[in-house]
Structure 1
């Protein structure tokens, strides 16, 4: 039976080529995902370990969980502690670090690190006058106020050389610093496209902390002193608000964080790989069903000469194993190339990844072999089992081909139940996992029902096909001749279009919701924020308020507090003007009462605390003072306006460090390019500050949604390509089994061009059928998912992008026409006499 299966594979090389290709693409997606994520994770891990090469023990501030007296930032480390650590036994050297945000402008005033983080830190020279973390490539290290050093990648991107004046912003005013040096670094953020600016220690402390304070103290152990021993020794002299961690532990924690940060991407890509494999299953099952049907007499002859049912089934499975193994190996090789390509694509798109070798994990090899062989054998098992159950005499007489009415009734009943359960589950779903289960059940149910649906749907387009004469009529009859085959072929395309349509509907609806939210939540003309999403210096709000044309403004100032034993954050605003800058639907009270010790609260927060109008509660501020506040209004929160709002005059005196999350601005002109330029000039053309209108906010979200959609479209394109292969495969094999019929048609006068048109129209009908089902299911899933989204986004409403939906259907038709090119050409060039004689 093994030799029989091997001869069968070799005898039908052309027939199985498309199946091998479909499995190869599905496996390649899985292995490529694993190779890519392992390569990127390993690159970041190695980069972080290099950065910790000179750190044996790191001392960091620590805030006790039992300390409820101060809800603000954790304490910093002092110069006195650093000196004590340096004098401790087993210590070779110490390095004090202080860091924060630093936006570097290029020579045109724009932000250099638009795609990464913008960091600033101190250069801490050791006994040799050098900081081992930052080797100087050219120039000198910063030694005094006004000096600056940049990492080599940032300097190269911005075109800076030693001696240039660099404009840089920390949290407010723009600083003019002289570039004294350019250094290299293993910092993972820089490797990923960010920037790093170095100041002398005194300047960095002034910018990011207080004189004599550090964020971290790195300790290098003396020779013959282990990290654990040094940590234990230092633990005896550390105060309660500091803790020591070994460099090995830091490296392990960073590696774990990097792996966890990649989990989302890995899971997402593996989901799309699963979709590709799911589509592949339809093609494999369809191919083996047709192959078995064409070899029915051959299999019957085997049964007649003594082969058992089990041996026939085993023959088909061995054939599938051979095909799956070849496809798995090919898929692994293609996946390795895909992983390398994905890394290059991310690098060329501006997302920089640390240098490192291509990593081929054992999981990729094992997954490729298992997935390729198992998927193929599972898909081939049912056709093989079905063929084995056919009596030899019936198979030789071909009386087995028609499915019984009972089997079709059972199939339709199962499909109807699955579809109904899927619809109900999707509609009633309260979370994503239940929604996903409902979606899967509905798709499977529709697939089972597809043979039943094919006849009325295809019959509905019959009037359109009549315009093509006899080829159109024959195409319609061929499309419904074998509903199961048509269903399997159309379903492969249906799945891809279902996901594409669903994502497009959700994206369009979210974009509309964001536009409406920006319009409904803001009366302000502009929102001023930091490009890095860090907090603004309070002098930004003062400068904006003093700018001509600005009529009303209000900073949105975060104020950390404790309410009971739970940490919360109040939002300080200008109580007298906030009502003219934001829109809020109050269920009780209004902004009019927002002053002194009175606050307004969004409904969700009020509900979580059990507050109502005139409810009082006690807060503990950063300075340890306690205060009693009263609710004077409850409003419906949105993504842009939410939380507990209190007048800035009440909370600002209690803040240890005053910063603003954003500043809302209303102008007399209502917003214009000239006004925006005036505001920008008032802020010193600061590269770190963004001045956003409501339209800018919507465009930024639209850009992000568009980028995500393009990535998802690219991933789903794999499923559509596999579906196209399925259409080609089905048509090619259908033409092969209809040789005699096509020969007879040619003999009675149907021209070769008409034969080609017949095959192309048949392909287009099948593809449009799959496209219609996919678009309909996608719209339904977009609506159902929207019901979940709307619970957290009140402005969400279903928005159908009719233009794109029509484009998807057009693309389905084009896919059908393209997929039919080779089968149609093959049918037209068939020798009619040889075709009539074909068995």
Structure 2
């Protein structure tokens, strides 16, 4: 039976190829994601090996619940470390992420892409991977000198001796480029901009005192790193800790893996959609094939094949297709990984063009996905095939599928859809852990439920969609409409594959439109300020990038501005959990930012050691006004803070303190946002023009009006929608291939019918038109179902997020109409091959076909 199964596949090569391609596309995105992330992980592992090659022990601030920390500690700790028995060499340094380099045009290098990292130059080569490139000048040795990585120098067009503008804690300053460096043998650290100064100059630029943010230690040859770490720990003051270089390397690797996991999960989610769509195609294909081969399979039963053997034969066919598709998908996964790397590099991330990494896990997962997909999709058709009686071989109409009542389908479909809706509701509205799992499972089950119900709508919707066709295209249009109605289960199953992709596109479109509709009201409500300033250098993905405090000081000198108010952000630990904390100037914040305080909450912040808390957060933690909350800061440690009031605007933070309290508990943290109002009688445009010299000097700061903030946010939403739509394109392509596959198989099934139509006068052009409009009706049917589902899902999500500021539900009518048009166009494309094949049939051969 296995030999028979393989022969059957090769006897129908087009069917074999089209089904395999659906698997290839789904598996390739899975494999490509793993190949790319594994390659990046390997590159980071190599980089970390270079960084920690000579470091046996690292001394750093004890971060506690804050994780990795660059908090500074007193410089005299270095002397204590050097005095420990077993230390061969030790060197202290400072680092900062609150730094920016401007290019020759005064624009920030990196922007929203890879970060800019500042370091002090290390004098001990074995403790640092940074090197001077051949012909790259000298390391920085004093004030006014800077060194940059070679990748940044090349991209910005700098040469040795150039004046380079660097914005540090004290504001913009000019430095002479004296050195061009490499990170090991690489010209960059995965696209990051590396800025290095002599130690004392680095301290000044970063805003540090006589301190270090880290000390690297190398042990003498016969001393174990763990033993030396214990010795050093004994001489360290409170708040400073020693860990082995291997421990710190492992921590860095874990942080990198966690960051990459978001990319991996995102790409795999879209790969899952493609695989889900492929399941519809494969099941539909095998169901049609089984129906067409009824007499063949019955003859096998008649000559002794058991139902089990027939079932095994169909499953073997599916597994063979899955095997070929999976292997090809893994191969195509390398192309996908290269494409992802190209997109990352286009965004400025500088991913090295190292050899791609294929781990055994990638092979195993990809093969399981491909084989599992085809196996599960073929089980029902295989079961049906095994139940074909031998007597069916004697009937002329054996290949015809008997019409069955749709009542059972209606009951089952309603139950499945109801379960999906229930899970969606739990994930969206109930307080449950891992809500995204409930949402994803609910959406998938709802899609299956609607696909089960779809045959009930196939005939009426085909009538509606195909209504104009007989009037416009005569008999070709009429036959196209009737053919799609003739087998509603087949039509619905084919359309369901496209439904999934279109539904997700419609959902993202509705969600994006609703978000944009809510943004304007939110921004104009939250920001009374005429101008808002923020940094373009985003080095911390969770907190607003820091602006030098000197910027707000400079703005205060302009008579055109009536008020300037800055907001700072940081992290604290309360009851073991990290929280974001904001800081405001109580005397000015109400003029520029709508905290929506209850009573005199903002004024009460002037009291030392006080904080105000968002009402919902207060209730969630069981606090009340007047409570004392133990709050841990990375620099000052545990502080007893008093809750003096509440507020409602929790968009940025659930907790606010005064700027004075913030400065007492943090070091070297710049401003997260700066607000300003134009003086009465001075227009916003005039004020913006007046302060432009300061804004231009701080090249990494952008000044925006409320309307400009809205425009920027809407642009970002549009870019995200374009990305999501592009990733869903794989699922749509698979669905189009499914329509092509279904029509191709139906042509084999209707060979004699098409031959008779040609014999009674239908010309080739009319045959092509008939097949083409069948495809259009199927595609449009799927698109209508998808758009409807997407809109409903979008409404549910927006409704669930009302408390988060989503006050408007919006349907992008233009995008919905465009989706329906593109679906119809996809039907035309899907019909090209089947229509051409049908039109070129030999009339006599077709008529004589049984």
TM-score normalised by structure 1 residue count = 0.92
Aligned 1:415-814 pairs, distance under 5 A = 415-429=413-427, 430=430, 431-467=435-471, 468-532=473-537, 533-558=544-569, 571-585=582-596, 588=599, 601-608=613-620, 615=626, 617=628, 631=644, 634-640=646-652, 642-645=653-656, 648=659, 659-668=670-679, 672=684, 675-683=687-695, 685-791=697-803, 793-814=804-825
Deviations, residues 132-155 of structure 1 (Å, cap 9, x unaligned): 633354111111111111111111
Deviations, residues 241-272 of structure 1 (Å, cap 9, x unaligned): 22222222222222222222211221222222
Give the Cα–Cα distance (whole angstroms) in 2 for the partners of residues 230 and 604 of structure 1.
49
Q: CA deviation at 1:503?
A: 1.4
Report how many residues are paired.
830
Q: Does residue 818 of structure 1 match 2:822?
A: no
Instruction: Find the counterpart in structure 1 of residue 541 from structure 2.
Output: none
Asked if 1 retains the 8 angstrom alpha-carbon contact of 2:51 and 2:129, the reply is: no
Deviations, residues 410-443 of structure 1 (Å, cap 9, x unaligned): 2221001111232344245333322222212211
Give the Cα–Cα distance (whole angstroms) in 1 for the partners of residues 332 and 628 of structure 2.
63
Aligned 1:353-368 pairs, distance under 5 A = 353-368=351-366
Residues 297, 630 of structure 1: CA spacing in aligned structure 2 closer, same or farther, 3 A cutoff? Answer: closer
Residue among 200, 203, 212 paired with 1:202: 200
Q: Does residue 134 of structure 1 match 2:131?
A: yes
Instruction: Find the counterpart in structure 1 of residue 60 from structure 2.
Output: 60
Deviates more, 1:571-580 or 1:735-744: 571-580
Residues 618, 743 of structure 1: CA spacing in aligned structure 2 closer, same or farther, 3 A cutoff? Answer: closer
Give the Cα–Cα distance (whole angstroms) in 1 for the partners of residues 636 and 191 of structure 2.
38
Deviates more, 1:697-706 or 1:37-46: 697-706
Q: Does residue 163 of structure 1 match 2:148?
A: no
Deviates more, 1:13-22 or 1:85-94: 85-94
Instruction: Find the counterpart in structure 2 of residue 86 from structure 1.
Output: 82
- Secondary structure of 1:135's counterpart equals strand
Give the Cα–Cα distance (whole angstroms) in 2 for the partners of residues 806 and 340 of structure 1.
34
Instruction: Find the counterpart in structure 1 of residue 14 from structure 2.
Output: 14
- Secondary structure of 2:130's counterpart equals coil
Q: Does residue 76 of structure 1 match 2:72?
A: yes
Q: CA deviation at 1:599?
A: 6.8
Q: CA deviation at 1:582?
A: 2.4
Q: CA deviation at 1:13?
A: 1.5
Question: Aligned-pair RMSD on alpha carbons?
Answer: 3.1
Give the Cα–Cα distance (whole angstroms) in 1 for the partners of residues 307 and 571 of structure 2.
74
Q: CA deviation at 1:647?
A: 5.3
Give the Cα–Cα distance (whole angstroms) in 2 for the partners of residues 211 and 187 of structure 1.
33
Residues 355, 191 of structure 1: CA spacing in aligned structure 2 closer, same or farther, 3 A cutoff? Answer: farther
Give the Cα–Cα distance (whole angstroms) in 2 for the partners of residues 374 and 563 of structure 1.
46
Give the Cα–Cα distance (whole angstroms) in 2 for the partners of residues 30 and 815 of structure 1.
25
Asked if 2 retains the 8 angstrom alpha-carbon contact of 1:48 and 1:187, the reply is: no
- Secondary structure of 2:388's counterpart equals coil
- Secondary structure of 1:53's counterpart equals coil
Deviates more, 1:445-454 or 1:40-49: 40-49
Give the Cα–Cα distance (whole angstroms) in 2 for the partners of residues 365 and 805 of structure 1.
39
Deviations, residues 156-185 of structure 1 (Å, cap 9, x unaligned): 111111111111111342111111111111
- Secondary structure of 1:704's counterpart equals helix
Q: CA deviation at 1:653?
A: 6.7
Residues 600, 97 of structure 1: CA spacing in aligned structure 2 closer, same or farther, 3 A cutoff? Answer: closer
- Secondary structure of 1:367's counterpart equals helix
Deviates more, 1:43-52 or 1:533-542: 533-542
Asked if 1 retains the 8 angstrom alpha-carbon contact of 2:70 and 2:213, the reply is: no
Deviations, residues 11-38 of structure 1 (Å, cap 9, x unaligned): 1112222112112222222211211111
- Secondary structure of 2:215's counterpart equals strand
Q: CA deviation at 1:726?
A: 0.6
Q: CA deviation at 1:397?
A: 0.9
Give the Cα–Cα distance (whole angstroms) in 2 for the partners of residues 111 and 821 of structure 1.
50
Asked if 1 retains the 8 angstrom alpha-carbon contact of 2:295 and 2:399, the reply is: no
Give the Cα–Cα distance (whole angstroms) in 2 for the partners of residues 211 and 589 of structure 1.
38
Q: CA deviation at 1:703?
A: 3.5
- Secondary structure of 2:179's counterpart equals strand
Q: CA deviation at 1:561?
A: 7.9
Residue among 221, 224, 227 paired with 1:223: 221
Instruction: Find the counterpart in structure 2 of residue 99 from structure 1.
Output: 95
Residues 366, 62 of structure 1: CA spacing in aligned structure 2 closer, same or farther, 3 A cutoff? Answer: same
Instruction: Find the counterpart in structure 2 of residue 294 from structure 1.
Output: 292
Give the Cα–Cα distance (whole angstroms) in 2 for the partners of residues 545 and 201 of structure 1.
32
Q: CA deviation at 1:554?
A: 1.5
Deviations, residues 496-541 of structure 1 (Å, cap 9, x unaligned): 1111111121122223322321111111011122333343343322
Residues 508, 561 of structure 1: CA spacing in aligned structure 2 closer, same or farther, 3 A cutoff? Answer: closer
Deviates more, 1:664-673 or 1:166-175: 664-673
Deviates more, 1:409-418 or 1:219-228: 219-228
Q: CA deviation at 1:693?
A: 2.3
Asked if 2 retains the 8 angstrom alpha-carbon contact of 1:149 and 1:180, the reply is: yes
Q: Does residue 834 of structure 1 match 2:845?
A: yes
- Secondary structure of 1:166's counterpart equals strand
Instruction: Find the counterpart in structure 2 of residue 70 from structure 1.
Output: none
Q: CA deviation at 1:344?
A: 2.4
- Secondary structure of 2:697's counterpart equals coil
- Secondary structure of 1:234's counterpart equals helix
Q: Does residue 378 of structure 1 match 2:376?
A: yes
Instruction: Find the counterpart in structure 2 of residue 32 from structure 1.
Output: 32
Deviations, residues 736-758 of structure 1 (Å, cap 9, x unaligned): 11111111112222222111111
Deviates more, 1:700-709 or 1:143-152: 700-709
- Secondary structure of 2:412's counterpart equals helix
Q: CA deviation at 1:625?
A: 11
Unaligned runs of 5+ in 1: 68-72
Deviates more, 1:235-244 or 1:590-599: 590-599
Give the Cα–Cα distance (whole angstroms) in 1 for the partners of residues 828 and 326 of structure 2.
30
Residues 245, 772 of structure 1: CA spacing in aligned structure 2 closer, same or farther, 3 A cutoff? Answer: same
Deviations, residues 331-361 of structure 1 (Å, cap 9, x unaligned): 1111122222322232233222245321011
Asked if 1 retains the 8 angstrom alpha-carbon contact of 2:582 and 2:656, the reply is: yes
Give the Cα–Cα distance (whole angstroms) in 1 for the partners of residues 572 and 128 of structure 2.
39
